[in-house]
Amino acid sequence: MSSPRKKAILNAIATSPVRPASCEEKSGEACAVFGRNVFGLSAMRKRLPKDVYRKLAKTIQGGERLNPEIADVVANTMKDWAIERGATHYTHWFHPMTGLTAEKHDAFLSPASDGQVISEFSGKMLISGEPDASSFPSGGIRSTFEARGYTAWDPSVPAFIIDAPYGATLHIPTYFYSYSGEALDRKIPLIRSISALSKQALRILRIFGNRTGKYVRANVGPEQEYFLVDKNLAVLRPDIMLAGRTLIGAFSSKGQEMEDHYFGAIPGRVMSFMQDVEKELVALGIPAKTRHNEVAPGQFEIAPVYEEANIACDHNMLTMNMMRHMAAKHGFICLLHEKPFAGVNGSGKHNNWSISDSDGVNLLNPGKTPQDNAQFLVFLAAVLRAVHKHSVALRIGTVGAGNDHRLGANEAPPAIISVYLGEQLSEVLEHIISGKSAKNKKTGFMEVGVSTLPPLPVDMSDRNRTSPFAFTGNKFEFRAVGSSQSIAPVNIALNAAVACALDDIATELEAAISAGAKLNEALQELLPRLFREHMPIIFNGNGYAASWAKEADRRKLPNYANSVTALEHYSDPEVMNVFLRHGVLSEREILSRQEILLESYAKTMCIEGNVLADMARSLVLPICLDAQIKAGDAVLKTRAVLGDKNAKNEEEHFNLLRSHITALQKETGKLEAAVEKTQEVEGALEQARSARDNILPIMAECRLHADVLERLVEDRLWALPKYAELLWLH
């Protein structure tokens, strides 16, 4: 066997579990450790002067503006707290449009007049920063001559400490915006979407007589899937290292068909990795709760307890960072790509979403009284209206070259956005629409008139894994998000769309009531109409079935199967309006995001095309050509010994090899040309289209031949670790 591959396999087998760093801490201590590395409310309460704490808590909990007078005290206290924990540096931590997080560290050092240095961290340093940010994507918002980007402290997410062997760094979550005040990140629009949602939802609560609620917030629990691949093997594969996924690779004879990996016993090395990650997350105040093996071999999942949307989003970014980082320590590479391996499931991220009021009441919980139920039905109607009217905005929240391999590939929900409500709840809606008083055998519903609606059963929903947006009892689960993606875009779209729907509903109800109608009368009139209008978005059937695409078309539900097609519609007036209406994104921000996402798509495809071409030329073809010479020799030798007519088998093998080698050579040339051509195309949309239409199909052709060749060439000569090794050695 080719020696580097063999060595890597032997090393992978010999690697034993690494003891998690904090192993000495006994189990059951999670509560004591929880949040140890964050400067959260409890650390603030202990350390800050009472009046300062009270002011800051108001900002954090009530969303009030930060009082700049307290900034110096907070900064100084935060610095002392961090230094006690070994911090030498601080950084503003933000989310540029790269889809990753960004940080630039500064030491807590300032020159003193006597030529010495003192440790310093002022309120100004805490509140604002100005990283030289000219190299982040801005989609035309910043040209390099006005490159300044600014960071501003987001006190609603606690600052946290990331440790390193020679000193820790205090991380301060921040917004990132341009000189002209436009959002360059995903946090700003997320916060704007949350306040839009809050404002409109409060109008509904007021209509229902709630006078005390101060705000409504979105809660999110993201379930995160990922793959682990042994590092010894991964480093031999340029596709894994540079593209985060395999671009070639013959399928392993055993994949997930036995369903023996899902929820199986967690391998020892993986378990140590998970425990290490969880310990760190818990110390960072991230409530990591669930871990298990996923469907594909080598695939796993981590899920936290849900949190407020802005915090959940930051925490999910941190979780992904931590997993990538910790994997190296345990001899793995953590793949967050949506489709690392062809032929087995890819990875997604289930965005569990609900809304609750300032008393913590979940507004998507069917209530116990008719009054509560009526309110629940109004919020349900709003969500249905939001998803029906604004499904394109939601679809755009899931775009990305990686996620295109998943959506609609019969392992993830289709690119058609629909809502799964389950049989029982759908039946309730049908009764409301028809206005009939009906007795449901199963659930015992008697009256559907809102005023007399009896309690709805709590666990009304069944499971349907094929729906992109499923109601699961008291929350919606949006399943089309890709595993590598930030959850911000989807939540921005969801909050903005629901805010629009609530606005419509509140406006109507307010008008009816001020015209003298009773609330119940207004609801009796409104709800059946709304449910009827938005019935087409409900689909409880099998989202993988081919017939669904036809049916969805009949219902006029958009089906934008790939990212480029979806992104084209970002600038449609009705899509832009979802974001413009409550100031979640400005027109310039939308257009810049559209451009960034299209560019990122094209760049990803060009990188993948180049990596594949390089691999074909330097790792696949040389070995295949050697094999071809050997096969040719075999033909000649056999002919010499047995006669010209008796070398059929050898000739067949030679011809097969040769035909695929010739084809791979030809396709590789075409691929290189396609990448070059795409790079020369002007305009983000045209370039992305070129990438999709030219690079993607040729990559598939190359792969076809490379994968046949992998099977034809003697195993010990093959240089690239194979699927069986990548998927099964843990």
Minimal distance, residue 223 CB to Mg ion, in Å: 5
The span from the CA of 513 to the CA of 522, in Å, is 7
Scan residues 618-637 and list those touching ligand ADP (CB under 6 A). Answer: none
The span from the CA of 567 to the CA of 598, in Å, is 7
Minimal distance, residue 223 CB to ligand ADP, in Å: 5
Scan residues 421-460 and list those touching ligand ADP (CB under 6 A). Answer: none
* Segment interacting with Mg ion (CB under 5 A) among 13-21, 293-301, 344-352, 591-599: 344-352
Scan residues 149-178 and list those touching Mg ion (CB under 5 A). Answer: none
> Residue 238, Cα to own-chain centre: how many angstroms?
24
SS3 at position 409: coil
- Please answer whether residues 338 and 406 qualify as being in contact, where contact means their C-beta atoms are separated by less than 8 angstroms: yes
Which residues are CB-neighbours of 488 under 8 A, at least 6 positions away?
A: 95, 186, 187, 189, 190, 313
Complex with Mg ion: residue 4 or 287, whichever CB lies closer: 287
349 residue type, one letter:
K
Total binding residues for ligand ADP by CB under 6 A? 15
The span from the CA of 539 to the CA of 541, in Å, is 6
Complex with ligand ADP: residue 44 or 497, whichever CB lies closer: 497
Choice from 350, 395, 405, 730 touching Mg ion (CB under 5 A): 350
- By CB under 6 A, residue 232 contacts ligand ADP: no
- By CB under 6 A, residue 304 contacts ligand ADP: yes
- By CB under 6 A, residue 221 contacts ligand ADP: yes
Minimal distance, residue 230 CB to ligand ADP, in Å: 27
Minimal distance, residue 474 CB to ligand ADP, in Å: 5
- By CB under 6 A, residue 193 contacts ligand ADP: no
The span from the CA of 218 to the CA of 499, in Å, is 11
Q: Which of 591, 559, 558, 568 is nearest to 687 (CA)?
A: 568
* Segment interacting with ligand ADP (CB under 6 A) among 350-358, 393-401, 603-611, 614-622: 350-358
> How long a stretch of residues is the chain?
730
The 3-state DSSP composition of the chain as helix, strand, coil percent (nearest 5) reads: 50, 15, 35
354 is in the binding site of which of Mg ion, ligand ADP, none (Cβ under 5 to 8 A by kind)?
ligand ADP
The span from the CA of 134 to the CA of 129, in Å, is 14
Which H or E run contains 653? helix 648-680
Complex with ligand ADP: residue 490 or 602, whichever CB lies closer: 490
Complex with ligand ADP: residue 309 or 596, whichever CB lies closer: 309
Minimal distance, residue 649 CB to Mg ion, in Å: 53
- Please answer whether residues 154 and 174 qualify as being in contact, where contact means their C-beta atoms are separated by less than 8 angstroms: yes
Complex with Mg ion: residue 418 or 467, whichever CB lies closer: 467
DSSP code of 695? I
303 is in the binding site of which of ligand ADP, Mg ion, none (Cβ under 5 to 8 A by kind)?
ligand ADP
173 residue type, one letter:
P
Strand partners for 177 = 150, 183
Complex with Mg ion: residue 349 or 692, whichever CB lies closer: 349
Minimal distance, residue 332 CB to Mg ion, in Å: 25
Minimal distance, residue 560 CB to ligand ADP, in Å: 26
- Please answer whether residues 158 and 39 qualify as being in contact, where contact means their C-beta atoms are separated by less than 8 angstroms: yes
The span from the CA of 520 to the CA of 517, in Å, is 8
Complex with Mg ion: residue 350 or 689, whichever CB lies closer: 350
- Annotate each residue in 556-585 with x if it binds ligand ADP (CB under 6 A) or - if it does not, as one string: ------------------------------
DSSP string over 416-431: B--EE--HHHHHHHHH
| Crossing angle between the packed helical segments 370-389 and 519-534, to the nearest 10 degrees | 40
Complex with ligand ADP: residue 384 or 512, whichever CB lies closer: 384
Q: Give the number of C-alpha atoms closer than 13 A to the C-alpha of residue 569, restricted to the C-beta side.
A: 20
Complex with ligand ADP: residue 461 or 628, whichever CB lies closer: 461
Complex with ligand ADP: residue 223 or 357, whichever CB lies closer: 223
Cα-flanking dihedrals φ and ψ of residue 591, to 5°?
A: -65, -35
Complex with ligand ADP: residue 376 or 601, whichever CB lies closer: 376
679 is in the binding site of which of ligand ADP, Mg ion, none (Cβ under 5 to 8 A by kind)?
none
The span from the CA of 239 to the CA of 616, in Å, is 11
The span from the CA of 608 to the CA of 245, in Å, is 9
- By CB under 5 A, residue 689 contacts Mg ion: no
Minimal distance, residue 158 CB to ligand ADP, in Å: 19
Choice from 37, 195, 219, 524 touching ligand ADP (CB under 6 A): 219
Choice from 194, 303, 393, 453 touching ligand ADP (CB under 6 A): 303
DSSP code of 120? -
- By CB under 6 A, residue 362 contacts ligand ADP: yes
- By CB under 5 A, residue 237 contacts Mg ion: no
| Residue 629: how many other CB atoms lie within 10 Å | 10
| Residue 441: how many other CB atoms lie within 10 Å | 6
Which H or E run contains 47? helix 41-47
276 residue type, one letter:
D
Residue nearest to ligand ADP (CB): 221
| Residue 411: how many other CB atoms lie within 10 Å | 20
Question: What does the angle CA 163 – CA 166 – CA 172 come to, to the nearest 5 degrees?
Answer: 40
Strand partners for 352 = 221, 477
* Segment interacting with ligand ADP (CB under 6 A) among 207-215, 249-257, 300-308, 566-574: 300-308
The span from the CA of 594 to the CA of 606, in Å, is 19
Choice from 118, 305, 446, 640 touching ligand ADP (CB under 6 A): 305
Complex with ligand ADP: residue 221 or 249, whichever CB lies closer: 221
Scan residues 463-492 and list those touching ligand ADP (CB under 6 A). Answer: 472, 474-475
Choice from 354, 540, 565, 628 touching ligand ADP (CB under 6 A): 354
Complex with ligand ADP: residue 470 or 623, whichever CB lies closer: 470
* Segment interacting with ligand ADP (CB under 6 A) among 111-119, 216-224, 444-452, 708-716: 216-224
Q: Which residues bind Mg ion (CB under 5 A)?
A: 350
Q: Which residues bind ligand ADP (CB under 6 A)?
A: 219-221, 223, 303-306, 352-354, 362, 472, 474-475
